[in-house]
Chains A and B, each alone.
Chain A
Amino acid sequence: MIPLPNALMFAAFFLIGPFGLRNRVASLVEFGLIANFLIVALVSKRSSRRQSIALLCALAVLSYENIQSVAAWLHIELSEVPILGVREALNFVSVLFTLNVSLAVIGAAAAVVVGLSLEMRKSRLPLAKLFPEMGFSSASEELSRSVRRMSQMAGIVPPSLSLIDSGSPVAFITRSRDGYELALSVGLIESLSEDELEACIAHELSHVKNNDFAVRSLATAARVALFSHPLSHVIEPAVYRAREFLADKTAVKLVGGKDALISALAKIRESQDYVSSKPTPIATACLFGSPRRNRLLRLFDKHPCLDSRIEALRELDHV
């Protein structure tokens, strides 16, 4: 994914910054790197893993550059204030910013830590607190057994299982203090066949198997570090979407075929089409997919639309 020249450029970029050698060359390298990673992401349609890593790398370069620029900008602005006294005071502050390289590094690290901890805190809440509008209850032993069996197949620690009190087809997996929690709605269980339900569970378990929680946290942390850089609002959701496609592929491997997942997604898409009114809080929280929107708006969706997922699954030829 990152051939040697790119890897060297990547390393050089991060080394140039701390030594205060940021100049046109550094900017060119940075531009080249971001463009390169974005191109890699665009051309790696068939490998969601590669795509998401390339996007994360682009985010890393962007966030590093962003923090450096802010520190440099503050330094110049503060030292050029003309009012006597204030200038001196600000110059004192600016002395701190002459250490902008170290500040930038600390800033980047702090942003990543804050971003990660916010994300972790949010995702480690119990289900009832995370989604207060939903009702949860314990699942039957039979269903829990099935989840345990599939988790063993995936080689992960089995998540605890909860039932969502909703008739709409919904499923998601989240982190809690005691591990992962898988939530399936009654509507999903009662309307899908056994194979289809298994494929949906496999998709959710694949998020754990593929370490998607860590990847998502990194993407979110990078977005936090980037403050308001417009590109971050496009790249972060793109990372999420790539991981969804990857979870589909992993699920296909887990259940040994793509038909059940395609059929489940097609059924869920049909119900989304039929009930076309404003999405409810539950539908918004549903991790199955975003309703179809225009191409531009889709850039900001953290979930690919179901049509694209079905299409990607149909194109899988090895199963």
Chain B
Amino acid sequence: MLKELWEAGSPLSVRQFHEKVSHNRPIAVTTAATILDRLHRKGMLSRRLVKEGGPHYLYSPRLSEDEFKHAVVNNVMGALLRGFNDMTVAYLAERMADKPEDRRIISKYLDRLKGVENR
């Protein structure tokens, strides 16, 4: 849902949002309105009331796509590391050891970590 709003690049009305979303999954406009309202109440979207041309809201995401992804990773990984520190690190290391690209990423971060330790 958020992807449609990021891709639009400018605030969308419920009808515009519905038009974009209903290509992939057929939903009623009222459902689109309810989804956007919920996302707004959860603090993920900001909205502006426009009274011209019939009252309607213009919705836009509060966070950019990158900021959002960062916040999600931060939330999920933060919780995992707090609860299952060793297991989480071991799992990540095992999963990332398979691909050369992933190995490069992990060694880059390990080097950075060593630098912090040596200081």
Report if A and B associate in a common complex.
yes
Report if A108 contacts B (CB, 8 A).
no
Determine whether the beta carbon of A165 is less than 8 Å from that of B28.
no
List B contacts of A191 (CB < 8 A). 14-15, 18, 28-30, 32-33
Q: Which of A154-178 contact B (CB under 8 A)?
A: 163, 165-169
Closest to B56 in A: A190
Binds A, one of B47-55, B67-75, B77-85, B100-108: B47-55
What 8 A-B pairs have minimum CB-CB distances, sorted nearest first?
A: A167-B37, A191-B29, A190-B56, A271-B30, A271-B34, A191-B33, A271-B31, A267-B30
Instruction: Give B residues with C-beta under 8 Å from A.
Output: 13-15, 18, 27-38, 40-41, 47, 49, 51, 54-57
Determine whether the beta carbon of B47 is less than 8 Å from that of A167.
yes
A-B residue pairs in contact (CB < 8 Å), sample of 6: A137-B49, A169-B30, A186-B49, A191-B32, A274-B27, A275-B34
Q: A270 with B30: in contact, given A140-B54, A190-B14 (CB under 8 Å)?
A: yes
Closest to B34 in A: A271
Instruction: Give A residues with C-beta under 8 Å from B.
Output: 137, 139-140, 142-143, 163, 165-169, 186-192, 266-268, 270-271, 274-275, 280
Closest to A266 in B: B28
Q: How far is the CB of A266 from chain B (nearest CB, A)?
A: 8
List B contacts of A271 (CB < 8 A). 28, 30-31, 33-34
Determine whether the beta carbon of A169 is less than 8 Å from that of B34.
yes
Determine whether the beta carbon of B51 is less than 8 Å from that of A167.
no
Determine whether the beta carbon of B47 is less than 8 Å from that of A189.
no
List A contacts of B13 (CB < 8 A). 190
Q: How far is the CB of A262 from chain B (nearest CB, A)?
A: 13
Closest to A142 in B: B54
Q: A167 with B29: in contact, given A187-B14, A190-B13 (CB under 8 Å)?
A: no
Query: How far apart are the CA atoms of A271 and B31 in the complex, in Å?
Result: 4
List B contacts of A188 (CB < 8 A). 30
Determine whether the beta carbon of B54 is less than 8 Å from that of A187.
no
Query: How far apart are the CA atoms of A89 and B26 in the complex, in Å?
Result: 75
List A contacts of B37 (CB < 8 A). 166-168, 187
List A contacts of B31 (CB < 8 A). 267, 270-271, 274-275
Residue with the highest number of chain B CB atoms closer than 10 Å, among A139, A267, A271, A275: A271
Determine whether the beta carbon of B35 is less than 8 Å from that of A274.
yes
Q: How far is the CB of A197 from chain B (nearest CB, A)?
A: 9
Residue with the highest number of chain A CB atoms closer than 10 Å, among B28, B36, B54: B28
List A contacts of B54 (CB < 8 A). 140, 142-143, 189-190
Query: How far apart are the CA atoms of A191 and B15 in the complex, in Å?
Result: 7
List B contacts of A190 (CB < 8 A). 13-15, 29, 33, 54-57
Q: How far is the CB of A304 from chain B (nearest CB, A)?
A: 19
